[in-house]
Each structure stands twice: as C-alpha cells, then as structure tokens.
C-alpha cells in the first residue's frame, strides 16, 4: 500500500492542530497523523526543518514549510499560533468587543455599521446562507486528504 498526499492543505492559511511546538527532536513513539511544529534547533529526523510542521505518516516524518499567515492550534498550550513569515507567535485576540459599547441600542446591529447602512443594502437569510455555503465548499475543496491505496 502507498500513501498519496493530495496537494491542498499546504496552501490553506489554517492548519490542523499540532500537539506541541517546543520539541527539537521527534517524540519516541509517535502515532500516525501526529503533528508538531519543529523547534528552533532541530536534531535527528527533524534536522534542517526548524519552524516546519512535522507530521508522522506511520513510517516516516513529512514536513510542511509554513508560509506567512498560517494559523494553527497548539494542543499542549491550548492556544492559537500565527506564522509571521519568520517565526510562530501566540495569537492574542485584542480589542474591546463589549456589546454595550458597539450595540448601545441593543438591536443586534453594530451601531457604526448601522449608521452607514441606508437600509437599501440588506441581505436576506437566504443570501447569507448561500454565501456561507459557497465559502464552506471552497474551504472544503482546499483541505488536504491522505489516501491509502
């Protein structure tokens, strides 16, 4: 049997979760599909792949070189990380999103957007559903799959 990787996932800015990001050497007993962000001083099978996403095929390690804007969830830290083109950094959501601040009249519409809307450009629920469905189909089409034949 051979594993074939369809060339899709490495073009997506979001990535499947990884287990850890601080390891410089592969774990002793990885399971097929385990994913890690390789540390800054990699050794062994990971040598030469600093900052890459390493994933275990069941028999060997494969690597994806991240591009600026890649976004991933790190399981052992319970945090999201973003690749800035040179290094991975913790993604910190910022800003004050208090409902009382942005929707003072409590009508479900952000007040600033409401002041810009003249009422002629509203979308129906069907329009929104169609747009979201198209977006999900687009994203799903770009996901990576591993096929064993």
d(CA 122, CA 64): 42
* pLDDT tens digits, one per residue of 136-147: 444 444 444 444
* Residue 83, token pair as written in the block: 């690749």
Which residues in the chain belong to E strands, given as ranges? Answer: 3-5, 35-37, 53-56, 61-64, 71-74, 79-83, 88-90, 146-148
Q: What does the pLDDT read at residue 136?
A: 44
Residue ranges making up the domain that contains 22:
3-148
* Residue 129, token pair as written in the block: 């559903």
Calculate mean pLDDT across residues 72-91.
92
pLDDT band at 93 (very low <50, low <70, confident <90, very high): low
User: What's the total number of domains in the chain?
Assistant: 1
The percentage of the chain sitting over the pLDDT mark of 70, rounded to a whole number, equals: 52
Which one, of 62, 65, 68, lies nearest residue 45 by Cα? 62
Calculate mean pLDDT across residues 107-111.
63
d(CA 72, CA 43): 23
What are the b/e assignments for 80-91, b being 16+ CB within 10 Å?
A: ebbbeeeebeee
Q: Are 14 and 71 in contact (CB under 8 A)?
A: yes
Query: How many of the other CB atoms lie within 10 Å of CB of 51?
Result: 16
Mean predicted lDDT score pLDDT of the chain: 74
Output the CA angle 69-74-80, nearest 5 degrees: 45
DSSP string, 29-54: S--TT-EEE--SS--GGGTT-TTPEE
């Amino acid at each position: 049997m051979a594993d074939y990787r369809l060339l899709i996932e490495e073009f997506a800015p979001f990535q499947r979760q990884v287990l850890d990001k601080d390891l410089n050497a592969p774990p002793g007993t990885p399971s097929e599909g385990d994913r890690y962000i390789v540390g800054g001083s990699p050794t062994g099978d990971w040598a030469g792949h600093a900052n890459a996403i390493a994933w275990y095929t069941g028999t060997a390690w494969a690597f994806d070189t991240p591009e600026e804007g890649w976004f991933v969830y790190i399981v052992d830290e319970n945090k999201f990380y973003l690749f800035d083109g040179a290094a991975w950094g913790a993604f910190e959501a910022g800003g004050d999103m208090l409902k009382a601040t942005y929707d003072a009249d409590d009508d479900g519409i952000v007040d600033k957007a409401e002041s810009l809307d003249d009422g002629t450009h509203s979308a129906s629920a069907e329009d929104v559903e169609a747009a979201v469905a198209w977006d999900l189909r687009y994203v799903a089409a770009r996901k990576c799959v591993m096929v064993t034949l």
